[in-house]
Chain A
Amino acid sequence: MDDRVAMIRHLIEGEPPPPDNGAGLLPRVCAVAARTLAASGAGISMMSEAGARGVYAASDPLTEHIEELQFVLGEGPCWDAFSTRRPVLVPNLDGESAARWPMYTPAAHDSGIRAVFSFPLQMGAARLGILDIFRQRTGSLTGDELATALAFADVTITALLDQHENAAVNSSGEGLAEAVEYRAELFQAQGMVMVQLGVPIGEAMARMRAYAYAHGRRLDQVAADVLARRLHFDRDRP
Chain B
Amino acid sequence: MKTVSAQQLAKVFVEIADTLVDEFDLLDYMHMLTERVVELTDAAAAGMLLADQRGRLEFIAGSDENVKLVELFQLQNEQGPCLEAFDSGEPVVNVNLGEAGARWPRFAPRAAAAGFQSVHAFPMRLRRQVIGALNVFGDTSGNDFQDDDIAIMQALADAATIGLLQERTVRRSEALTEQLQAALNSRVIIEQAKGAVAQARGISVDEAFTAIRGYARRHNRRLTEIAQSIVTDPETLQQIFPQ
Check if B54 sits within 8 Å of A184, measured CB to CB: no
Check if A194 sits within 8 Å of B192, measured CB to CB: yes
Check if B54 sits within 8 Å of A191, measured CB to CB: no
Is A230 part of the contact surface with B, judged by Cβ < 8 Å? Answer: no
Check if B232 sits within 8 Å of A201, measured CB to CB: yes
Residues in B with CB closer than 8 Å to A124 are 185, 188-189, 191-192, 231
In-complex Cβ contact of B174 among A91, A186, A190 (8 A): A91
Docked CA distance A158–B74 (Å): 23
Check if A190 sits within 8 Å of B54, measured CB to CB: no
If the complex has contacts A89-B174, A124-B231, are A191 and B191 also in contact, measured as CB distance less than 8 A? yes
Return A119 CB to nearest CB of chain B, in Å.
Answer: 8
Is A6 part of the contact surface with B, judged by Cβ < 8 Å? Answer: no
Task: Determine, out of A79-87, A103-111, A213-221, the stretch whose residues face the partner at the interface.
Answer: A79-87
Is A62 part of the contact surface with B, judged by Cβ < 8 Å? Answer: no
- Which residues 168-213 of A sit at the B interface, judged by CB distance below 8 A? 182-184, 186-196, 198, 200-201
- Which residues 70-103 of A sit at the B interface, judged by CB distance below 8 A? 84-91
Return B165 CB to nearest CB of chain A, in Å.
Answer: 13
Residues in A with CB closer than 8 Å to B211 are none
Check if A125 sits within 8 Å of B53, measured CB to CB: no
In-complex Cβ contact of B192 among A87, A89, A90, A188 (8 A): A188
Q: By the criterion of a CB under 8 Å from any partner CB, how many residues of chain B are at the interface?
A: 33
Docked CA distance A198–B200 (Å): 11
Residues in A with CB closer than 8 Å to B195 are 187-195, 227
- Which residues 174-228 of B sit at the A interface, judged by CB distance below 8 A? 174, 177-179, 181-182, 185-186, 188-189, 191-200, 205, 227-228
Return A125 CB to nearest CB of chain B, in Å.
Answer: 4
Check if B192 sits within 8 Å of A122, measured CB to CB: no
Is A39 part of the contact surface with B, judged by Cβ < 8 Å? Answer: no
Check if B192 sits within 8 Å of A191, measured CB to CB: yes
Residues in A with CB closer than 8 Å to B107 are none
Check if A87 sits within 8 Å of B177, measured CB to CB: yes
Is B59 part of the contact surface with A, judged by Cβ < 8 Å? Answer: yes
Interface 1/0s, chain A 107-125, versus B by CB < 8 A? Answer: 0000000000000101111
Closest residue on chain B to residue A125 by CB atoms: B231
Is A159 part of the contact surface with B, judged by Cβ < 8 Å? Answer: no
A-B CB contact pairs (8 Å), 14 listed: A88-B178, A123-B188, A124-B188, A125-B188, A125-B231, A125-B232, A140-B173, A150-B54, A188-B192, A188-B195, A189-B195, A193-B199, A194-B196, A195-B237
Interface residues of A (CB under 8 A from B): 2, 4, 49, 84-91, 120, 122-125, 140, 143, 146-147, 150, 182-184, 186-196, 198, 200-201, 227
The 6 closest A-B pairs by CB, nearest first: A191-B195, A124-B188, A187-B191, A86-B182, A89-B174, A188-B195
